[in-house]
Amino acid sequence: MKPALRLLAASLPLCIGCGDFTPVETPRVSGGDAGAGATLNGCTPELFVDRSADGAERTIGFGGERGSGGFSYAPKCMTVAAGQDVTWVGAFATHPLTRGVPGDVNGGAAGNPIPTTMSGTTMTVNFRRPGTYPYVCGMHAFLGMTGVVVVR
Ligand SMILES: [Cu+2]
């Protein structure tokens, strides 16, 4: 490298911050790894409750139902086994359910079976395949009204 080029190359990193340009770091939430230590929709590994046992209650309350707060899911982070059903209970008209992470319905494992649900008060999903399936309230995800079903 010629001395002039080396000088140019060495000065480039110094110039990145010399204007008004401010790099914005956007955290990227990726799915499929919540069980490996990552945080997805506010679910860390220690927050998951295992409801995969036969006879366990696989119900997620929201909007004040089943021990949830007004803007939360209970339990927020649930583990089930492949083939099991999970039922959401609450008013979907005020808390519309959508798969994915805030701003991205495709966040999480591919093939998330959670359907967009905007009416009614109960909805049951059969989780056939192992994966990490996040979901959000379309109205209150920004308040942390989000959750994850991990299927083993
Ligand atoms: Cu909501």
For the chain, the structural domain boundaries read 31-151
Please tell me the distance between residue 32's alpha carbon and the centre of ligand 1 in angstroms.
24
Among 31-35, 43-47, 66-70, 118-122, the least confident range: 31-35
- H or E stretch including 11? helix 3-15
The CA 138 to ligand 1 mean position distance, Å, reads 7
- Span from the CA of 62 to the centroid of ligand 1 (angstroms): 8
Q: Model-level pTM?
A: 0.76
CA of 88 to the centre of ligand 1 (A): 12
From ligand 1's centre to the CA of 96, what distance in Å?
7
More confident site: 123 or 2: 123
Superfamily of domain 31-151: Cupredoxins -  blue copper proteins (2.60.40.420)
Cβ atoms of 136 and 142 within 8 Å: the answer is no
Q: How far is the CA of 16 from the centre of ligand 1 (A)?
A: 41
